[in-house]
Amino acid sequence: MADDPFYPYLKLILENVSIWPVLIVVGIVWLVRHPELFDTLARYVSDLKLGPLEAKFREVQKELADTKEQVAVLEADLSHEQERFQALAGSFDPHAPVAELESTRSALKAMAASMDDLEPVRLNLTQYKDAGELYAAAEVARTRRDPRLFDDLVDCLDRLARDDDLHGIRLHTVWTLTSALHRTILADVKHGAGVLTADQLRRAKAMLARLVANPRVQADEPNNPTRGVRGPAKWAGDWIEKGLAGEGKP
């Protein structure tokens, strides 16, 4: 090879020029002449550097998609639940004899136990369009005994108590509302964690005084007041006093 006339020049180049730039130039020329390999190499480098990050990104994307799907299912369930409640609230005669309301009460109690969203109940207590919606809300509140409905029950009963005719609402519905309030106070003061504040209890106490003094309530079961609205009103008042005195749990 020493006899090759090109050898001295090659030796001179290798001794005075770094091999790496030469190899890089050769590699670039080779890639230019084989463009299909450039795409493959680019994908390999991308996967090599971004593979774990890309996998994590895809995992996050999947989790977000699953969450969105779960939220959509939950919203659909809640919407269906609200529709069923409102449909039931409008499916009966709220002025029918009490005995004829038994099947309606049973259906409302069954629904109350599984309701996840109490907003329709709150709306029916505060913005009811007819006596049926109010009665349905009263039955659900009576079954649930949920402190979250306490203020709405107090506001509803206070509005009725301030009108001599109870805004035309039948006494059985007023009794159900008052019983719901009594059960809610009992559940919180005696069996619960004391969620209701002293201010809430005092406000309910003032409302009950107005309710008991209402002319229609006074005329309800005059020979045996505890059988009428004044019964649950008294029991609610008793537990309010215990709650204010700090005598909740034994």
Q: Residue 184: which residues within 8 A CB-CB, separation 6 or more? A: 141, 145, 146, 147, 149, 150, 153
Lowest-confidence segment of 43-57, 111-125, 168-182, 219-233 by average pLDDT: 43-57
Model pTM score: 0.68
pLDDT tens-digit readout, 56-115: 556 666 666 656 555 444 444 445 777 888 888 888 899 999 999 999 999 999 999 888
- The residue ranges of every structural domain in the chain are 90-244
Residue 248: what pLDDT?
Answer: 52
Mean pLDDT score of the chain, rounded to an integer? 82
